[in-house]
């Protein structure tokens, strides 16, 4: 179990920096905040004012990982933002995957810099830190994993190229008691292949590892002259509709290159140094040992490949082997899946979601669609769940476990008497939970919960899981006393009209009765149940022996972790992380509610700077930052989500950074786009978007915290799309806008986007009316566009911002385009992020804080020539009727739990 607890999250696909200090990378220059004296087209990366920079550069907190026995905790240490040199490393873009050829991994991986081991003492406190040691300084650590018995750690190590002749990954192991680490392989020439699944513990002393084949030579060389033209054909008139996937294979050379990097040789490696190769080299994508450690479930992909879909849809083969490397049988060999319909809930034909039952030694289960994978086909049942032993006799057929009329969504296993099966349907937002008895054919399945997934108030919670000795997780059964019927624990977010109040219920699966045994403090704190900690012993669990791990935070206190034990519910704090940004410790936060003109209830979180008093200080410049969402009902759209007591996490490009610049921040105002019944939400997108924005702006003005002429709007991705539409269709609300990594012309994503699954040809007017590109002539307020030059998101090609900027410029709009070299959909490098913040601050200071009459300026100077320029580092293009050009950008804060 790993808990990621930090305030400055590095994007998942980023690599952390050597040093997070100001100017330490040598490529970000200090910039005066007098933006009028600084040419907006000057070369070089810039940094924002110190009040913003200091928050972003604060060192990140470690991630936590508990041992299987819950008696030790790892502190996985991290660095701050990575330098641009990390992102600038060459990468191969193949089959929807970006590969670092030097490391033979996915590119831009984050990493740890060190591992600290703490004993969890009986009183709940942590013992002194024991540093894992034995590896060279400067090592980048990845894929940290506990052995089943908790006595060893495995992890990979790599180095920067300047530190080592070879930057490929090697597997290391460490003794948990001593902290001593050593290479797993005696040979220095065995390297990890981490393009797909990399390694897994088979038992307490053996790992199954994907390695680079020792016989592999140099990468294939691209031919100077192609063997022929690139040809694709659909002479069979197949209907093949796909979204705008990026980084696809382009030709035979790409196919060869993909095979070169993705092909692995599987090795069984024991801690005693024994190594055994099993199976032929292949593109292995997943490795899964059975709970009894006798079998391996091995998945691989193979040719023929595709030029129009990513590798997840390539032909897929699933086999069963023994753990000593003997082939048992083939479970399936699925063909290339280019024709999965774009309708939501459409799936691949054939067996899918193949897994081991968590409660059995070696029993498989999987799902097969009955509608050909097409969600538009009406059929009953729609999905069938099957089960079969790994050692099934020849001719033994799989057994039908359960039939579903909605789309399969997973199973929580307990034992032969209990499992919970989930199904859902996006179009109706219906979700159902079934109770089944896997070992009793005479017990009929029954529906436990049948509700709308949008109705957060009715969410009963999810069953808590306990770890088995085999390392799997099953539903925990709890008894109040020895002869009582067992219950399960439901862990819920507890959404209410006053905000989330997480809870833990003791739930009788047979009668439906429930007893609340724990609930978050609703007055000041926001607490959640993270994990069950009293699951080390086999047999029944009793309520008076219950122990849980919880997190606790408030508006001004950052997240800490606690152990709570029954029967007295004693609480022990086990972490004491410092406040990540003490300069904003006394920020003001309030969850506010207001109403749209059509009666829909809306919510938002209003943040105000420390010490601000509206009665004394008057209204502030305000930044509205949001992201629209689709709903099927007005009631669901109006429900409150989140808690007023949650800690204000501030990420590297969060809008909340501008609290340090004395802005009011309206974060996440709900922008519901509702399509009730047979109505499609997006058919009234603009109307509902504007109505939601009007209500939000009216509320902050009514409260006296926002100056009516100094309200800016911004968003990332679909939030950028929202921003452009609001400046086009509601120019009276905002003085300027910031749009990051957005899409603006929906005709460039003709086979669906976001939650729209109709094609351009089925909903032409909707695609056109939703596209701010088509309304570029209406945008009169300043808009800043920011985009990563290597954006790999399927709906937001960098071209979207390029073309939108040119459309704006062609109509004399005051606009600016910043293209960030090497950056993807989310921004990672310190140079890029600091420059984005500088651009943002400059834009807001000029067009929000010091608001000129921009529209009047534009109208008076339409004859001035547009100006374009390219920066040698961050590419900046500006267009302005008569004023000088500008720029900006953000990234929302994140907090995640990784399991």
Which residues are known to be catalytic?
717, 791, 825
718-729 vs 685-702: helix crossing angle, rounded to 10? 80
Closest CA to 168 of 259, 92, 111, 104: 104
d(CA 65, CA 72): 8
Token pair for residue 113?
Answer: 């810099």
Q: Which residue has the tokens 């608001």?
A: 851
Strand order in the sheet with 181-183: 140-146, 152-158, 170-175, 181-183
Q: What are phi and psi of 218, to 5 degrees?
A: -75, 160
End-to-end CA distance of the chain: 5
- CB atoms near residue 702 (< 10 Å): 10
d(CA 696, CA 706): 11
d(CA 173, CA 196): 21
Closest CA to 127 of 603, 540, 574, 438: 574
Decide if 51 contacts 841 (C-beta within 8 A): no
d(CA 805, CA 235): 39
User: For residue 374, what are the CA distances in angstroms to 88, 424, 569?
Assistant: 41, 15, 50
Establish whether the linkage from the previous residue to 845 is cis, with ω within 30° of 0: no
Helix (H, G, I), strand (E, B) or coil at 313: helix
d(CA 79, CA 62): 9
Q: Is 223 exposed, middle or buried (0-12, 13-18, 19+ CB in 10 A)?
A: exposed
- CB atoms near residue 85 (< 10 Å): 17
d(CA 364, CA 320): 10
Residue/partner pairs of 427-434 with CB below 8 Å, 24 or more apart = 427/344, 427/345, 427/375, 428/452, 428/632, 429/453, 429/454, 429/632, 429/636, 430/406, 431/406, 432/406, 434/402, 434/404
Establish whether the linkage from the previous residue to 438 is cis, with ω within 30° of 0: no
Helix (H) or strand (E) holding 767: helix 764-770
Q: Which residues contact 68 (CB under 8 A, 6 or more apart)?
A: 146, 148, 149, 150, 467, 471
Counts of helices then strands in the chain (DSSP H, E)? 11, 53
Decide if 516 contacts 503 (C-beta within 8 A): yes
Token pair for residue 882?
Answer: 């008569």
CA angle 807, 809, 812 (to 5 degrees): 120
d(CA 321, CA 206): 16
Decide if 693 contacts 714 (C-beta within 8 A): no
What is the radius of gyration, based on Cα positions, of the chain?
Answer: 28
Q: Which residues contact 890 (CB under 8 A, 6 or more apart)?
A: 625, 653, 654, 655, 657, 714, 716, 738, 740, 836, 840
User: For residue 363, what are the CA distances in angstroms to 322, 366, 386, 400?
Assistant: 14, 10, 11, 13
Helix (H, G, I), strand (E, B) or coil at 604: strand
């Amino acid at each position: 179990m790993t808990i990621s607890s930090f305030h400055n999250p590095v994007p998942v696909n980023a690599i952390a920096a050597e040093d997070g200090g100001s100017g330490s990378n040598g490529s970000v220059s200090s910039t005066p905040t007098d933006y009028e004296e600084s040419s907006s087209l000057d070369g070089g990366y810039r940094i924002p004012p110190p009040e913003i920079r200091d928050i972003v550069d604060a060192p990140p907190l470690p991630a936590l990982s508990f041992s299987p026995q819950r008696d030790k905790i790892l502190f996985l240490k991290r660095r701050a933002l990575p330098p641009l040199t990390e992102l600038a490393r060459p990468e191969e873009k193949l089959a929807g995957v970006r590969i670092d050829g030097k490391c033979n991994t996915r590119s831009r991986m984050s990493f740890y810099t060190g591992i600290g081991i703490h004993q969890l003492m009986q009183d709940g406190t942590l013992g002194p830190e024991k540093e894992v040691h034995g590896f060279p300084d400067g090592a980048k650590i990845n894929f940290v994993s506990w052995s089943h018995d908790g006595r060893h750690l495995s992890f990979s190590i790599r180095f920067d190229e300047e530190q080592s002749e070879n930057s490929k990954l090697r597997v290391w192991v460490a003794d948990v008691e001593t902290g001593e680490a050593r290479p797993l392989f005696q040979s220095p020439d065995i390297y990890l292949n981490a393009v797909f699944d990399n390694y897994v513990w088979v038992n307490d002393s053996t790992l199954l590892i994907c390695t680079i084949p020792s016989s592999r030579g140099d990468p294939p060389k691209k031919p100077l002259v192609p063997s022929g033209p690139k040809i694709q054909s659909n002479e069979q008139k197949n209907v093949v509709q796909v979204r705008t996937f990026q980084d696809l294979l382009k030709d035979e050379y790409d196919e060869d290159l993909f095979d070169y990097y993705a092909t692995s040789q599987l090795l069984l490696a024991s801690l005693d140094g024994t190594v055994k190769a099993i199976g032929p080299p292949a593109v292995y994508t997943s490795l899964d040992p059975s709970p009894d450690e006798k079998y391996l479930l091995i998945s691989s992909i193979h040719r023929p490949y595709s030029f129009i879909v990513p590798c997840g849809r390539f032909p897929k083969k699933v086999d069963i082997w023994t753990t000593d490397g003997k082939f048992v049988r083939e479970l399936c060999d699925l063909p290339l899946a280019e024709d999965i319909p774009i309708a939501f809930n459409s799936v691949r034909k054939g067996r899918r979601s193949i897994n081991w039952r968590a409660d059995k030694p070696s029993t498989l289960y999987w799902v097969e669609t009955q509608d050909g994978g097409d969600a538009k086909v009406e059929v009953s049942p729609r999905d069938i769940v099957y089960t079969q032993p790994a050692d099934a006799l020849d001719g033994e057929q799989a057994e039908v476990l359960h039939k579903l009329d909605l789309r399969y969504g997973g199973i929580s296993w307990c034992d032969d008497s209990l499992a919970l099966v989930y199904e859902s349907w996006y179009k109706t937002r219906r979700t159902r939970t079934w109770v089944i008895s896997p070992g009793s054919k005479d017990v009929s399945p029954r529906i436990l919960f049948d509700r709308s997934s949008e109705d957060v108030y009715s969410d009963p919670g999810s069953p808590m899981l306990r770890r088995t000795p085999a390392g799997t997780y099953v539903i925990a059964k709890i008894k109040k006393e020895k002869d009582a019927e067992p219950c399960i624990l439901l862990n819920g977010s507890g959404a209410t009209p006053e905000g989330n109040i997480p809870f833990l219920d003791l739930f009788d699966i047979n009668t439906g009765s429930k007893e609340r045994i724990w609930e978050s403090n609703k007055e000041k704190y926001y607490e959640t149940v993270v994990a069950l900690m009293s699951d080390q012993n086999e047999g029944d669990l009793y309520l008076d022996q219950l122990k849980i791990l919880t997190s606790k935070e408030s508006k001004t206190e950052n997240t800490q972790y606690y152990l709570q034990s029954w029967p007295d519910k004693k609480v022990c704090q086990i972490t004491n992380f410092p406040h990540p940004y003490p300069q904003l410790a006394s920020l003001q936060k309030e969850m506010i509610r207001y109403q749209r003109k059509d009666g829909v209830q809306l919510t938002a979180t209003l943040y105000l700077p420390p010490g601000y008093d509206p009665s004394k200080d008057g209204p502030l410049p305000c930044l509205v930052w949001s992201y629209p969402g689709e709903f099927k009902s007005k009631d669901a759209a109006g429900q409150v989500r989140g808690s007023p007591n949650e800690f204000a996490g501030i990420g590297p490009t969060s809008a909340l950074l501008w609290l340090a610049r004395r802005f009011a921040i309206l974060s996440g105002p709900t922008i519901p786009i509702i399509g009730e019944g047979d109505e499609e939400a997006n058919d009234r997108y603009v109307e509902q978007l504007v109505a939601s924005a009007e209500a939000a702006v009216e509320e902050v003005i009514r409260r006296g915290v926002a100056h009516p002429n100094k309200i800016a709007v911004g968003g990332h991705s679909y939030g950028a799309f929202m921003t452009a539409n609001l400046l086009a269709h509601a120019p009276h609300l905002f003085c300027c806008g910031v749009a990051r990594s957005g899409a603006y012309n929906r005709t460039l994503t003709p086979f669906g986007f976001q939650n729209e699954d109709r094609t351009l040809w089925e909903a032409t007017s909707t695609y056109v009316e939703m596209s701010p590109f088509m309304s570029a002539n209406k945008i009169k307020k300043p808009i800043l566009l920011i985009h990563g030059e290597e954006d790999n998101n399927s709906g937001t090609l960098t071209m979207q911002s390029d073309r939108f900027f040119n459309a704006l410029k062609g109509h004399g709009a005051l606009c600016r385009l910043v293209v960030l070299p090497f950056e993807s959909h989310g921004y990672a490098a310190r140079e890029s992020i600091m420059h984005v913040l500088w651009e943002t601050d400059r834009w807001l200071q000029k067009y929000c804080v010091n608001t000129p009459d921009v529209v009047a300026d534009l109208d008076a100077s339409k004859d001035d020539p547009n100006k374009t320029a390219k920066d040698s580092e961050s590419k900046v293009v500006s267009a302005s009727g008569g004023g000088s050009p500008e720029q900006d950008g953000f990234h929302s804060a994140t907090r995640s739990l990784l399991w």
